[in-house]
Amino acid sequence: MPIEVACHLNVLVPDMAEPELGRALRTLSELGYTAVVLPPIDPDSAPLGEWAAAFRDHGLTPITIAGQAPGADVSSADPVEQERGAQALRRMVEATAALGGDQMNGVSYGLFGRASTAAPAGAVDRAAAQLGAVADHAHDQGIAMTFEVLNRYETALLNTAAQARDFVAASGSAHLRVHLDTFHMAVEETDMVGEVRATVPVLGYLELGQSGRGPLSAGSVDVDAVVRAALDAGYRGRVGLEAFSRLVLTAEASDLLAIWREPYTDGAALAAEAIELVRKAEAG
């Protein structure tokens, strides 16, 4: 069976609004994608039933993104804030199931954004314990939970694959999995391919993002080598595409992610090239 390939919806459209959503889902389905990564959603107000029907109609499995917020943070030293953070994650697990999804990604271990100091003592251990419990709960609901490793400018908690492997061990969960993104790895890792291989036993999502946030064929990341290394090491999970352009994203999302340029202007063409690159690497 070919490996499943997912695409961030934001590669093609800025949000979940119709009719653009329907056109984007149709394009991804026709290109051969099997899953789509959603932008952050509010599980309490989103039309989950309508979206679930749209995903089913296009044969695409939705992947949600779960995060944390001030006052609801599993890495906090305040037990009340920790519990609020865990509750937010559990609510997103429920929303994922309602959407017909089977995977929840995201920066679920703490706040997103450049930190002013190193991570406080105990923050990583607190987050690991909370995520381990949520991952076990998600598994019971048929949802695989991953957490994304970010570069130093977007978090002070987890920046490398080695830290992620230690985090999984500290969680005590047999179900928590790592989400590696080659964009972030290009900043932090001295041996990207080697770290991908080493993480395969606990890898739940391998995301391909180029150094310039644009087409996978243009940048410093050797996409072919990364995909081949993962598959040679036994990885059979999803491979995903992520790219951002200010032309496509909302201004708010562009500012949050520091997307000041337009690395691409045609999201469908970028997605078509990306899945072709993955299939060629898979074929060897």
Q: Name which of 183, 186, 154 is nearest 242 in CA terms.
A: 183
Residue indicated by tokens 């051969």: 32
Q: Which of 168, 216, 165, 200 is nearest to 8 (CA)?
A: 216
* C-alpha torsion angle, residues 110, 73, 179, 162 (rounded to 10): 50
Q: What is the dihedral of CA 263, 266, 272, 278, to 10 degrees?
A: 10
Rounded-to-integer distance, Cα 25 and Cα 60, Å: 8
Out of 81, 188, 242, 273, pick the active-site residue.
Answer: 242
Residue 68: is it exposed, middle or buried by C-beta count within 10 angstroms (0-12/13-18/19+)?
Answer: buried
Residue pair 195/228 in contact by the 8 Å Cβ criterion: no
Whether 163 contacts 128, CB under 8 Å? no
Instruction: Say how far apart CA 42 and CA 256 lie, in whole Å.
Output: 17
Side chain identity at residue 125, one-letter code = D
- Asked about 4 being catalytic, the answer comes back as no
Is position 195 annotated as part of the catalytic site? Answer: no
Of 148, 154, 195, 273, the catalytic one is 148
Kindly list the catalytic residues.
148, 242
